[in-house]
Amino acid sequence: MLSYLIRRVLEYFDNSVYGRNIDLLNSGKFAMSADTLWLSDINAHPESLLASKAVINKGDYDVGLYTSKNNDKALKAQTTDDISRLTAISNRFWTADWHTINQLKPNKLAHIESFPNMKRLVKSEIADYTLLHFRVSESDLSYEEMLPIPNIKAVLWDSRHYAISTHFPNHQRIAKAINAGLKQLHQQNKIETAYQSVGINHPLTADWKVLNAN
């Protein structure tokens, strides 16, 4: 019996708006997300989206409370009471971030859709902090003119998955192939290593206190 190798051409479309990616997948015009999405967001569309196996498991995605390098008040915060006296910004469409930042009970929380605007407001100290995954360059956690508040962090209590559109042709075969690849990468420890290299669940912050551990 002859076996045939079927080649598929992948087309990538650049779209950095998280909510827009979900809308495009719901329409069935695209097969899957090129970046991972939160499981809660995928499960919110059970008739049109299918989640792959977890890329990042629940509890393994930690983030820093990034503030201006000149914001002494924020940089000295170490307890939940200290954090509750600070102001925060995030994007309410980033459901895991929004839920987590509400757990920290900031004095004020503002919704900002544009990430560049978030950075500008934090760097200018109009807001005290926002949540970002740790930026690691060698042993430096700084990001532009911002620093994570030292020795404390938060966990985004959700898992990350690829979303596959159930309205796209052959979506079950696509899901099977993606899951087989993810299984192999997890067994080879390549996914954990890759995410640690960009600051997620990084050894540099392994002993930092998790403010929302409960």
Q: Round to whole Å and give the CA distance between 121 and 134.
A: 19
Q: Are 43 and 100 in contact (CB under 8 A)?
A: no
Domains, the chain, in order of start with CATH, read 18-57+158-203 (3.40.190.10), 62-157+206-210 (3.40.190.10)
Closest C-alpha to 126, from 139, 140, 110, 113? 110
Alpha helices (runs of H) in 113-153, residue ranges in sequence order:
115-123
- Given a contact cutoff of 8 angstroms between Cβ atoms, the answer to whether 19 and 91 are in contact is no
CA distance 123 to 212: 25
pLDDT tens track of the chain, all 214 residues? 444 444 566 666 666 666 677 888 888 888 888 889 999 999 999 999 999 999 999 999 999 999 999 999 999 999 999 999 999 999 998 889 999 999 999 999 999 988 999 999 999 999 999 999 999 877 789 999 999 999 999 999 999 999 999 998 889 999 999 999 999 999 999 999 998 888 888 888 999 999 998 7
Asked if 36 contacts 56 with a C-beta cutoff of 8 angstroms, the reply is yes
> Around Cβ 70, how many Cβ atoms within 10 Å?
13
Q: What is the pLDDT of residue 118?
A: 95
- 68's tokens: 């201006």
pLDDT for 15 equals 61
Q: What pLDDT is stored for residue 214 in this prediction? A: 72
Helix (H, G, I), strand (E, B) or coil at 209: strand
Q: For residues 144 and 146, give the distance between their C-alpha atoms in angstroms, rounded to a whole number.
A: 6
Judge whether 76 and 54 are in contact, CB under 8 Å: no
- What confidence score (pLDDT) does residue 10 get? 65
pLDDT of residue 197: 86
Quick one: pLDDT at residue 9?
Answer: 65
Structure tokens at 153: 């962090």
